[in-house]
A and B are shown apart, each in its own frame.
Chain A
Amino acid sequence: MTAEHIIGKSVPRKEGRDKVTGAAQYIDDMTLPGMLYGATVRSQIPRGVIKKISFDPQVDWSEFVIVTAKDIPGKNCIALIGDDQPCLADGKVNHPEEPILLLAHADPHLLRKAVNAISIEYEPLPAIFSIEESERCSQVIWGTDNTFKAFLIAKGDVDSVWATADYIVEGEYTTGAQEQLYIENNGVIAAFDAAQGVTVWGSLQCPYYVHKALMALCNLPEDKVRVVQMETGGAFGGKEDYPSIIAGHATLLAMKSGRPVKIIYDRLEDMTATTKRHPSRTRHRTAVSKDGKILGGEIEFTIDGGAYATLSSVVLSRGTIHAGGPYYWPNVRIRGKAVATNAPPHGAFRGFGAPQSLFAMERHMDRIAQAVALSPVEIRRRNFLKPGETTTTEQIIREEIDLGKLLDRALELSDYSAKKTRFAQANETSPIKKGMGIATFLHGAGFTGSGERYLASVVGVEGCADGTVRVLVSSTEFGQGTNTVLCQIAAEALDLPYEDVQIAQPDTNRVPNSGPTVASRTAMVVGNLVRSAAVGIKQTLIADGMLRSSYSPEEFRAACQRHIAEHGQLRSLARYDPPAGVFWDDQKYRGEAYAAFAWAVYIAEVAVDLSTYSAKVEDFVALQEVGRVLHPILAKGQIAGGVAQGIGFALYEKIVWQNGRMQNGQMTNYIMPTSADLPQIRVFFEEMGNIHGAYGAKGIGELPMDGPAPAIVNAVEDALGTRFDSIPLLPEDIFETLSEAVSADREP
């Protein structure tokens, strides 16, 4: 294989062979000598004061390691953005399943029994469970007004548009919580010794987040905390912040017992106690001209953050910035707010606020189309952002994006017009109603605003003694293809075969902090740094006279070996350098929110069976512009996987809450799509050229989560002619809405 073919080629996944043979080592496959198992005793109530903890005298508690908040050597918090979330509840609880006490024992059977032999008496306090209750402040459970964070985006003069508007269109849209449902539950092993400090191995996305949290919790210096990522069986954001909690718990047990401690959650514990997608409510009020142009509008985007702040402020930020969709707003006011409720904290999940606010925007576009009597296609076409125009944060679109062209292609691929006509005719008599729905959207790649500047990520590339090259990053592989794509980039930069480049296991003792593996930033931001660092080692070899400027892989290997023999190591680091002239105002929320956007048009074909009221997606076209496609198979896999999760978000995945606790925390009653439920997900790319990212790549991972839900619900509305403004939309919800519509019709 020659180097120039590596980018854009579907080379084998680096860790793929181990995954198909069963050799890959996940955290539960690892055992250490003398290892204990750990378990968590959790709150059974949503809010209250802990009065008494009783240990059943039938159990010999001297055999168990018991840890409470009193055993924490450092600060009792999970250090993240803020530090309001305790590692272990101390005196009071603020949500069901809040960790109170930890146990460890060599025998997991006895451990499980022991957890049930501890009873906790509480003095319950009134709790709140919805955005509306939180806003009313009948109980203040966080800060002075239950508000974790609020943002305001203001562009132009919204107050002036109402008088001249031909139409004013209003709507309210809500989305439910969604479980990430990675198939591998959360798990870690922690070990401690006084000389080395703490080592944690785990299933996780962000080794340096865990590192930071453990330093604060254990009061240890940087070099006494080591975090190693094991093969990770899916994450989707669900292993962004939560691993800091479970790692903290295992570490406290390991420190107290002096033995390694493994904690692996079972499915019920993982689903009821760990993070989910934030439930949301979005209100739109839009002024539109008679020819269907958006004149201006107000958007109110509110998310339920659960009991502690955790990542809610950044989820809110992304959701607020995406709330206007891929449209031109001459005037707009967007208010974003994250509020507290007595549920376990909601957290990161692929899309990170954007799927929620874009669901509302794309439903609302269809509502505007109806008001103006234009088609869903035409209303979008008339309002698309064009190069040179500005987004809601007044970021100028510099990419050569042509959304109209993207829309035309998607319409053709889905056979939209012909099907829409055919379905409208057939629906008059058929008990199975069919419809077509469109969503057009964008997703910002990388951290928002000044995020990447603050992160200042560092990446390393080093030569090995055998002449091969190794990429050193804390960016993790959890299925998306990080290992493969970063090796492709290094190989391309060095003119080496893909096989000559490896990637180190993420281990904070060995790799620099290339930032968290989130925000669709890895290929674009980290990839660019890998390229720079790779070029760095080439330049070193050339400067040392060991390599000519053009070389064969054999010559490179020889030079690399010689350099290491003479100098001990060959290593190059690259640090993120913010591009010049990028403007972002964190106070006013104005400026260049993202280094690049990915753009997409998704079209869903849906059939609703009026005997069962179930909606089924029968065809799905996902067309996107994500810059250069580095690896077609991985890219298609990212899109199809995201669309499947989006279909689940729209039609299947409903969390049943009772007093802040998830009641259906099992795979038998929380339903994700199976292979029999999904349509053919047809994935297409349009490459339009882009100035950012390694070899022209933009972010891809989160984009496909944004479009499916609105496209599907728009199709359901097209099929049935009835408004649906909330997801998930299960058969009982469709039944209920249709029944209400029928009874409303009958009223005089």
Chain B
Amino acid sequence: MMADSSEHRGKCEISLAVNGRAKTVRVYPMERLLDVLRHEIGLTGTKEGCGEGECGSCSILMNGELVNSCLIPAIQAAGSNLTTIEGLAEGPQLSALQAAFLECGGAQCGICTPGMILASYHLLNKKPKPTLDDIREGLAGNLCRCTGYMQIFDAVAEAARRRNPA
């Protein structure tokens, strides 16, 4: 839910780092971090699917941990380091995961894709050489209605190979 811009009472200032850049925003303490990202910071790559932490479309990394940004109050994110989908590519160069999702058919309609890629990124950071079961388990909090997940598994395995060539 977006904040009421006409009413600044109750708002507070928080500072955080988003994709390595320092940001200071005035927000309601209990505003959803998802809305802060999308409306205050203007990063609309993070998507809302269910608004109750079930679908994982709004997944981001907060201090390296995978979180559903629809469940995080803004005040809890003060001082934290966030990574969103906009932070993965280096300029025009897609990250290994993004390229693999594109090539392997891991993205169809694309709405779950940012969250799915962040969850995959988190998985590969923890397990650089995941088994198929690791991938299934690691992505079980992110729903995709289009792909049946098979090509997402292919993409994550392919990205792992590229990041860690034999």
Contacts and interface: CB of A to CB of B under 8 A. Distances in A.
B107 interface: yes
B151 A666 contact: no
Interface string B111-130: 11110010000000000000
Interface stretch (A15-23, A416-424, A726-734): A15-23
Contact of B44 (A22, A106, A634): A22
B158 to A, nearest CB: 12
A183 B112 contact: yes
B66 to A, nearest CB: 14
A183 B104 contact: no
A234 B54 contact: no
Interface bracket on A: 35 or more
Given A22-B46, A183-B112, A266-B51, A672 B1 contact: no
A13 B109 CA distance: 11
A29 interface: yes
Contacts of A478: 109
B57 A183 contact: yes
Contacts of B2: 108-109
A644 interface: yes
A633 B110 contact: no
B107 A674 contact: no
Interface residues of B, number: 61
Given A20-B102, A28-B48, A232 B109 contact: yes
Interface in B83-136: 84-86, 88-89, 94, 98-99, 101-114, 117, 135-136
Nearest to A235: B109
B9 interface: no
Given A21-B86, A672-B143, A479 B110 contact: yes
Contact of A233 (B3, B47, B86, B150): B47
A361 to B, nearest CB: 24
Given A183-B111, A184-B49, A667-B55, A29 B145 contact: no
B162 to A, nearest CB: 14
B165 to A, nearest CB: 21
B164 interface: no
B136 A234 contact: no
B45 A21 contact: yes
A24 B148 contact: no
- Chain A CB within 10 Å, residue with most, of B3, B146, B149: B146
Contact of A20 (B43, B107, B136): B107
A185 B107 CA distance: 18
A183 B136 contact: no
A267 B49 contact: yes
Given A183-B55, A633-B104, A644-B149, A21 B6 contact: no
Contacts of A28: 44, 47-48
Contacts of B147: 637, 640-641, 644
A633 B153 CA distance: 13
Contacts of A480: 108
Secondary structure dominating the interface of A: loop
Interface string A72-83: 000000000000
A19 B1 contact: no
Nearest to B152: A675
Contacts of A681: 148, 150
B140 interface: yes
Given A22-B45, A107-B4, A234-B111, A183 B148 contact: no
A315 to B, nearest CB: 20
Contact of B4 (A109, A183, A667): A109
A122 interface: no
Contacts of A182: 109, 111, 145
Contacts of A15: 110
A678 B103 contact: no
Contacts of A235: 109
A480 B86 CA distance: 24
Nearest to B98: A20
Nearest to B28: A109
A17 B110 CA distance: 10
Given A22-B85, A107-B6, A183-B144, A666 B108 contact: no
A666 B38 CA distance: 23
Contacts of A110: 4
B130 to A, nearest CB: 12
A480 B146 CA distance: 8
Contacts of A184: 47, 49, 109, 111
Contact of B84 (A22, A25, A633): A22
Nearest to B57: A183
A235 B46 CA distance: 20
Given A267-B50, A668-B52, A675 B136 contact: yes
B52 A666 contact: yes
18 contacts: A19-B113, A20-B94, A20-B98, A25-B44, A109-B1, A183-B47, A183-B145, A184-B109, A233-B109, A479-B110, A637-B148, A637-B150, A641-B108, A645-B148, A666-B54, A667-B54, A675-B140, A678-B149
Interface of B: 1-6, 38, 43-52, 54-55, 57, 84-86, 88-89, 94, 98-99, 101-114, 117, 135-137, 139-153
Given A234-B111, A637-B147, 18 more contacts: A21-B98, A106-B6, A107-B6, A182-B109, A183-B55, A479-B108, A479-B146, A480-B108, A637-B146, A637-B151, A641-B108, A642-B148, A667-B54, A668-B54, A675-B135, A675-B144, A676-B136, A678-B148
